[in-house]
Amino acid sequence: MDSRVDVRLNNKWNTLVTLIMGIMLALTFIIYIFVYKNGTFYLHIKEFCVTGLSIGIDRFRGMYGFICTLIWFVALVFARGHMMDIEHPVRFYTGTLITYIATLGIFYSNNLGVVYILFEVMSICSYIWVANDQNDESKKAASTYLIVSVFSGLVMLMGAVVLYCSLGTLEYGEMRNAVLNMSERKPLYIGAGCLLFGFCAKAGAFPMQFYLHSAYPATPAPAVAILSAALTKAGIFGIIILTLELFTEDSNWAVVLIVLGTVTMFINALLGIFQIDIMKILACSSVSQLGFIILGCGLMGILNIPGVEEYEEAFSLALQGTVLYMVNHSLFKLILFIACGYLCRQAGSRILNDLRGTGKNNKRLLLPILTGCAGLAGIPLFSGYISKTLLHESIVELIHILNGNITVRILEWIFLITGGLTFAYASKIFVILFVDKNNNTEYTNKDREPLIIWIPTVISLACGILPYVLTNKLADIKELFDIEYHMHLIKYFSLVNLKSSIISITFGVLFYLVLVRPYLCRKNILPEFIDSERFIWKPLFKKVLVPAGGILAVGLDSITPVLQKLVIVFMSILAFVMDSIVPYIYNVGMAVLGKAAEFYNALADFAIAVIQGTIFNPSKHVQLKRNEKLEISLHHMSMTGRVIQASLSFGFLMLCMGLCITLLYLLLGH
C-alpha cells in the first residue's frame, strides 16, 4: 500500500469518526439542556446483560458528557490535518471510538460496578494512543502505561468486590443508604481504598504520576489532549463518587484526600519549572492541576455536614470550585496540548531552545496559548481565576470554622505558593514561544494552524470575563448523586478575593525572575534520581516484586504436591472411616425404625380396642361387615408402616453410598 492510499484511508476514517463525534456533540448538548431544565434523568433496565443497565444523568454528568464529546471532536478535527501518517488508522480510530464510548459511559452510569468495567475498557483502549508512533520512546512509555493500568485495574477489582460484599449493592444512592446502616466500617475503608488507588493512578496523583510524565510526551498531540483533558477527569469523577456516596461526614477519608492533593499539586508544580521539554512541562502541569482538584474533593468531604449553615456554605464553595476546576482544566489542556503539539511538529523538536520565538510566526495561536497559560496561573479575567478563588475561599471558610487552625493555614500558604509555581512555568512557556527571539525560521513541517482550538478558547474567555452570566450557570449543578446543596455566590473581583490571586502572582513573578529565567530555560538541571520511574518504580517491579513473585510461585509449586498427598491421605482415611461406620449406622437405623414400627403397631391395636369397645355399638348384621372393613384398614396401615420402615432404611443406605461416591470423585479429581 503506497503513501497516497494510506492518506486516503486515514482521511476516510477520520471523517467517519469526526462525523460520529459531531452527531454525539449535538446529542450530548441536548441531553445537558434537558437535565438542566428538568432535573436528573434515570433509566434502569433490570434484564439488560444479566446485571442490568442503570443510567443517571444530572447537571454535572450531563455537562461533562458534553465537554468530553467536545474534547474528542476538537482533537479529531485537529488530527485530520496533523496525523495523516498513522500506519494503522483502523486500529487507532476504532480504539479512539471505543475509548470515547467507555468514557461517556463512566459519567452517565449510575452503578459503580459498571464504572469499574468501563474504566478498564477506557484504560486498555487508550494504550493504543501511547504506543502509536512505535519508536523506542513510545514503546517504553506504552509499556509503563499498560503495567500501571493493569495493576491498578486488579486492585480496583478487589475493591469493587469488597464493597459489594459489604454493602450488597453498587448503585448510587443505595450505597449511601447501606453505609448508614453499617456497624463495622473496616471493609468500607479497604474496598474504597483499593478503588481510590485505581482512580488516583488514572488521574496521576502522587506517587503514580511518573507514568504520565513519560506517556504524555510520547503520545501524538490530539491523543494526549484527550488523555489529559478527559480521561484523567474520569479518575477524578471516581474520587467524587467515593467521597459523596460512602464518606459523608468522614474526616479520616477527607484528610487523606487533602494530603494526597496537596502533595501532588506542589511536587508536580515544582518539577514543572525545571523541565525544558515543553510536553513534560505540560505533563507536570496536568498532574499538578489535578492535585488542586483532588484537594477540592477532600475539602468537599470534610465540609459535607448537612444541617450546619457554616459547613453548608463552605461545602458549596468547595463543590463549585472543584467542578469548575475540572471544566477549566479540560479546556486549558485541550488548548495547550494541541497548540504546543502543532508548534513542536513545525519545529521538529519539543525542547524549549528549539522552540524559541516559534509563536511569532503563528500569531493566531497567541490568544489561545495566552488563555491556557493565564488560566492555569489564575490571572483575573481568565476562567482559571474563578475556580482557584472558589477553592481558596473554601479553605478560608474552613479556617474560620476551625478557629484559625494552624494546619489549615499552612495548607492555605502551600496553595498560594503552588499557584506561584504555576505562574512561573506558564510564563516560561509563553515568553519562550512569543517573546524571545526566533532562533530558526526553517521548519520541518508546514501544516495549517489548528484554528479549531478557538472553540475552547472562546468558551474559556467568555467564562472568565462573564462569571456571573456563564460560569455560575455551569457551577449551579443543583444536586450531585441526589445530594442537594444551595449555591453560594461570592464577589469574584472584590479586593478580598483579588488579594489571594495577587499573592500567588507575586510569588510567581519572583520565582520566574530569580530562578526560572536565569537558570531553568536552557538546560535541565534536575538530578537523575528525580526520575522516580527509572530509579524507584522499575527497580521495585524488576528487582523486588518480580523476584518475590517468582519465589512465591516456586514455593507454592513445591508445596503443592505435598499438599496434594496430604489431602489424598486425609480423604482416604475419611473414606475408610465412613466405610467402616456405615454398617453400624445401618444397624442403628434399622433398630430405631423397628422400635418405631412396634410402637406404631401397638398404637394401632390400642385404637382398635378403643373403637370396638366404646365408640361403635352396632347390631349384629352390621357389626361383621364393619369388622371386615376395619381389619382391611388395619392391614393396610400395617403394610404402610413396613413400607415406611424399608424406605427410610433404603434412604440411609443411599445417603452413605452417595457420600462414598463423592469422596471417590474428590480423590480422583485431586
Torsions phi, psi for 480 (to 5 deg): -140, 120
Q: Are strands 41-45 and 53-57 parallel, antiparallel or unpaired?
A: antiparallel
Q: Which residue numbers in the chain have pLDDT < 70?
A: 1-6, 47-52, 83-87, 307, 439-447, 481-486, 488, 524-546, 549-550, 582, 586, 589, 593, 604, 607-670
- Which three cell numbers mark 38? 428538568
pTM value? 0.79
For 291-304, letters b (16+ CB in 10 Å) and e give bbbbbbbbbbbbbb
Q: What is the rounded CA–CA span in Å between residue 76 and residue 262?
A: 34
Tell me the per-residue pLDDT of 27-43, one tens digit each, with 9 for 90 and over. Answer: 999 999 999 988 888 88
Q: What is the rounded CA–CA span in Å between residue 603 and residue 557?
A: 65
Number of DSSP helices (H) and strands (E) in the chain, helices first: 25, 4
Give 530's Cβ-side CA count (13 Å radius). 13
Using DSSP, state whether 406 is helix, strand or coil. Answer: helix
How many residues are listed for the chain in this entry?
A: 670
The pLDDT value given to residue 296: 93
Helix-strand-coil split of the chain, %, nearest 5: 80, 5, 15
522516580: which residue's cell? 532
Q: What is the rounded CA–CA span in Å between residue 300 and residue 316?
A: 8
Using DSSP, state whether 351 is helix, strand or coil. Answer: strand
Distances from the Cα of 294 to the Cα of 126, 203, 208, 258, 383, angstroms: 23, 9, 14, 7, 19
44's enclosing H/E stretch is strand 41-45
Q: What is the rounded CA–CA span in Å between residue 380 and residue 469?
A: 16
Please write down the long-range contacts of 50-58, taking CB distance under 8 Å and 24 or more positions apart: 51/111, 51/113, 51/114, 52/111, 54/109, 54/110, 54/111, 54/114, 54/171, 55/108, 55/109, 55/110, 56/108, 56/109, 56/110, 56/172, 56/481, 57/31, 57/108, 58/477, 58/478, 58/479, 58/480, 58/481
Residue 84 CA, distance from chain mean position? 32
The pLDDT value given to residue 583: 74
Write out the DSSP string of 241-310.
HHHHHH-TT-HHHHHHHHHHHHHHHHHHHHHHHH--BHHHHHHHHHHHHHHHHHHHHHHHHHH--TT-HH
